[in-house]
Amino acid sequence: MSEWRFWLKEQRGTLAAVGIFLLMFTIYVSNHPAGLTANVVQTASNKGVLLAFVAMAQTLVVITAGIDLSVGMIFILTNALASWLVIGSPLETSFGVVAVLAAGLACGALNGLIVIYGRLQPIVATIATGAVFFGIALLLRPFPGGSVNEDLADMMTGKIFGVVPSSLVALVAIILVVWVPFSRSVIGRAAYATGSSEIAAYMSSLPIRRAKFTAYLLSGLLAATGGLFLTFFTYTGEAALASGNAYTLFSIASVVLGGVSLFGGRGTAIGAVFGALAFRTIGDLLFVFDFDPLWQPLFQGVVLLVAVSLGAFGLFRVRNRLEWFG
């Protein structure tokens, strides 16, 4: 096999997600009453980026063969926190941003510690911590409200040179600063190895615990980035339970669409980002076709079901039936 075919094989999941997104977005734009304008792209980007951040957060944990059901709640908690802190003079605002991101890191660290040292299954541990995070969010914002530094918010949700949505630029920047170094670091490789086969990773004397902890930590950070952007878009904070749960579930959907294996060890955050953008576009397709919005959850559910089923095809190749359960 020549080099580019190896590359193609390695990137298959990610490329499929890019393909799905491009297809869906083309259908979306060509049926949109306004067509392909900077404003349409900006709106789509602002909606998509939120889920993209949360999906990236989910990806890091899923790569280690875990799952983080608290990402949506970290997203909500940091939104509530940002509506208190990201305000005032430039100095105060920057302090607020740092504090919000630090809160995300703290949430991720807590998840990591419980999963690694408490030896709880990630699914149980993160349901519990998610409830805790939501509880704190509710105490911070019993009622929707608060405010945000509007100059910063407008800058982050506007357009650069009147064309490029700045939220998209921010997403690319975060990918370059967080994902790319992670995926190429020793810790990142250990995370993949742990997800692929924890026993083999142990026998290869890889830093399994540090890899998992880093994954949860960065997951918290990325979810907090999402929470920050939510505040920029809405100008307020709100402890919305339904929204938190929806983001958690959609993040898993995006991860699957993005070609990340829920069994761990395979997939990229870039794939998940495109999975998120595609998922959002699919949801919005109904609007441009003038369907009743009531159909949206059902439609998204069907799309997700199809995507998940495609991922299960590998089971047909199994020669030892016991491997179905491994």
Binding site for another protein (CB under 8 A): 1, 3, 6, 9-10, 181, 184-186, 189, 192-193, 195-197, 199-206, 261, 265-266, 318-322
Could you tell me the smallest distance in angstroms from the CB atom of residue 189 to another protein?
6
Could you tell me the smallest distance in angstroms from the CB atom of residue 319 to another protein?
5
Both tokens of residue 294?
A: 């009531």
Give the distance from CA 142 to its chain's centroid: 26
Could you tell me the smallest distance in angstroms from the CB atom of residue 98 to another protein?
23
Closest by Cα among 186, 162, 166, 164 to 174 = 166
Distance between CA atoms of 188 and 194, rounded to whole angstroms? 10
**200 or 306: CB nearest another protein:** 200
Q: Which residue has the tokens 């949360």?
A: 54
Could you tell me the smallest distance in angstroms from the CB atom of residue 265 to another protein?
4
Terminal CA-CA length for the chain:
31
- 54 close to 72: Cβ distance less than 8 angstroms: yes
Q: Which residue has the tokens 């957060």?
A: 57
Q: Is 157 exposed, middle or buried (0-12, 13-18, 19+ CB in 10 A)?
A: buried
Could you tell me the smallest distance in angstroms from the CB atom of residue 184 to another protein?
4
Q: Is 315 exposed, middle or buried (0-12, 13-18, 19+ CB in 10 A)?
A: exposed
Could you tell me the smallest distance in angstroms from the CB atom of residue 223 to another protein?
24
Instruction: Provide the 3-class DSSP secondary structure of residue 142.
Output: coil
- 242 close to 70: Cβ distance less than 8 angstroms: no
**52 or 201: CB nearest another protein:** 201
Instruction: Provide the 3-class DSSP secondary structure of residue 318.
Output: coil
Vertex 148 angle, CA 241 and 226, to 5°: 50
**202 or 287: CB nearest another protein:** 202
Could you tell me the smallest distance in angstroms from the CB atom of residue 256 to another protein?
17
